[in-house]
Structure 1
Amino acid sequence: MNSITGIDHTIIGVADLEAARASWTRLGFTVTPRGRHIGWGTGNYCVMFPNDYVELLGIIDASQFVNNLDRLLETRGEGFLGLAFGAADSGAVHDAFPEVTEAPKDLARLLELPEGTVAPRFSLVHFKPEATPGLSAFCCAHLTPELLRQPDWLDHANGATGLDGMTIPATDPATLAPAYARLFGDGAIRAGQGRLEVRTEALTLRFLSPERMARRYPGLEPAAVMTVTCRDLAGTREFLASRAVRTVAVPGARVVVSPEDANGVILEFALESAAS
């Protein structure tokens, strides 16, 4: 059995954490209370789904350790930073892939709930760059899962129900296949001209060539795409229009929001039953 359980969450770097919270609320997502990483100068707001989530990551104290987030925002701007694969046991991931992972490290954050602050804890295993080419990634094992979600955080006004996956621009996707086959097995890999799909346990990681990106997302500059499932595409489109969020015309049954309205990522809604 694979020690990596799929995609746990995606990470979006933002320049202004409070502005990002307002933007994603405008998009119709319920945003959690603010979190702050203990001993670091970074904080986050999260968009929670039953099995995965989105992390909006920003700097709240630049005098402390920010894990190069300041440099990334300065050189690349806001947008997709990477993703966390899920793991039941971080040690098992390191044992399975000792040559391309660092030893597990624990991290905690303070979550500012109305009834008082709690401290969710995690165990992280970081991959070396050659393990996940084209992507910055680590594995995350939740040590206090009971603190991670509350029922009202899972209800989103735009009808969103969960993540479907990430699509990332890549010059030559086929060259990435061997590394991801090592992590997820040959059966998880689907490759074609200018595309590579990695089927994790529940979600899909996609790499597309610039030509394929241009055909699938015409008129948009290449950027990472986060696909979110929803109950009703028409309802999602109507909700976004009611908030004056412009959607982009693309081929197929999808609702797409430009990076300007989603902190540097292309936000794509797909019908729950048709996703993947």
Structure 2
Amino acid sequence: MKGDIHGFHHVGILTRDLERLEQAYISCGFTLSPRSRHLLSERPGDEPVPGCTANRCVLFGGGYIELLGIVDETAPDPWHTREIADQYEGFRLLNFDTDDAEIAGLRLTGTGLRTSGVLDLKREVDTEDGPRTVRARALHLDPRTTSEGYLGIAQHLTRQYVHQPRYLVHPNGARSLDAVLIVAGDSEFDVIRDRYVRLLRAEPRQQGSMTVLELPAGRLEIVRASDAGEVLPGEPAPALSYLAAVTVRVEDVTAARKTVEDGGITTRTTGGGFLVSAHDASGATVFFTA
């Protein structure tokens, strides 16, 4: 259905030290797109202006991991990224994919969720045919209502300039962004779960200590903070509720683990593969599974 949420558009890991963040993910065996500066609109209908952020991305052809850096503290900040980083850096952004941001926004407003309205984004990228402009539309949920992170819905207008084939092959054999894990404070768990049920129009199911919401592409996992140690043993907890982890599917777990460890990154065995700690992946635990 037009305007529905299909899966993950991207997740965002935020830093004021983009070079360090880039190196961490290169060491984990990911190919990164070149650095690209953002042009952002502050209000619906405004022309995008050069902002304070730039990114590099881990691309899979569908949902992707955005490595987002504040690269100019003096530049305009229409999307209030500096405020987010002032709270804490790391895994802060979660955006779901839609084919019509306007219709999706109307649906969310109709369910009682407050949004920014639809905003425009541009950034210049190199392609094999020369420079091109990436264009997208996005809306943000009111961050005062989403304690676990900064949530949005995004629509590609020029998907082919983002997911260029030359950036989709990774030394670690990564193929897709399969899941996102949220830790919800016990007192907020019901509110957070119910918000995503409305947002995604998905029926929750229980998988051990996790509540799982299946998307057409990917799945969202939510765990109570009191149970987080079962899923994320020894991992940092930056807030009462927070975006905690991503799951990346790889072609071969053994080969992927060797690539990551050859990059100087410590790994730990999990039931389905292995993980890289948030301490080493700049604030997001990364699970690697077959």
**TM-score above 0.5, yes or no:** yes
Are 1:218 and 2:229 an aligned pair? no
Partner of 2:257: 237
Mapped partners of 1:74, 1:102: distance in 2? 21
Give the AA of the match of 2:75. Answer: Q
Q: Does 1:95 align with 2:95?
A: no
Secondary structure of 1:188's counterpart equals: coil
- Alignment match, 2:174: 160
Which stretch of structure 1 is more off in the superposition, 112-121 or 22-31? 112-121
- 1:60 matched to 2:71: yes
How many Å separate the matches in 2 of 1:144 and 1:132? Answer: 29
For the 8 Å contact 1:3–1:96, the answer to whether it is kept is: no
| 1:51 and 2:62 correspond | yes
Where do residues 144-183 of structure 1 align in structure 2 (5 Å cutoff)?
144-172=158-186, 173-183=189-199
Alignment check: 8 A CA contact 2:184 2:192 kept: no
Question: Can you list the C-alpha shifts for 1:118-138, whole angstroms capped at 9, x where unaligned?
Answer: 210001122234775634211
Aligned-residue Cα RMSD (Å) equals 2.2
Alpha carbons 1:130, 1:179 under 8 Å: kept: no
Per-residue displacement from partner, 1:107-165 (whole Å, max 9, x unpaired)? 11122558743210001122234775634211111111221122120000011111011
- Distance in 1, Cα, partners of 2:83 & 2:155: 27
Structure 1 residue 245 displacement after superposition: 1.0
Aligned to 2:119: 105
In the alignment, structure 1 segments of 5+ residues that lack a partner are: 272-276
* TM-fit CA distance, 1:236: 1.0
Q: Which residue, 72, 80, 84 being the options, matches 2:84?
A: 72
What is the deviation of 1:89? 0.8
Give the CA deviation at 1:104.
1.1
Q: Quick one: structure 1 residues 113 and 18, their matched pair in 2 at CA, closer, same or farther if it must change by over 3 Å?
A: farther
8 Å contact 1:35–1:112 — kept in the other structure?
A: no
Whole-angstrom distance in 2 between the partners of 1:181 and 1:115: 42
Amino acid at match of 1:209: R
Give the counterpart letter for 1:35 in structure 2: S
Q: Give 1:248 shift.
A: 2.2
Instruction: Give 1:19 deviation, angstroms.
Output: 2.3
Q: Over residues 44-92 of structure 1, what are the superposed CA-to-partner deviations in whole Å (9 max), with x where a residue is unaligned?
A: 000100211110001121111233333333331x311121110101111
Structure 2, gaps ≥5 residues long: 40-49, 239-243
SS at match of 2:51: coil
Cα distance between partner residues in 2 of 1:4 and 1:52? 12
Displacement after TM superposition at 1:214 (Å): 0.6
Structure-2 separation of matches of 1:170 and 1:33: 34
Distance 2:16 2:147 in 1: 26
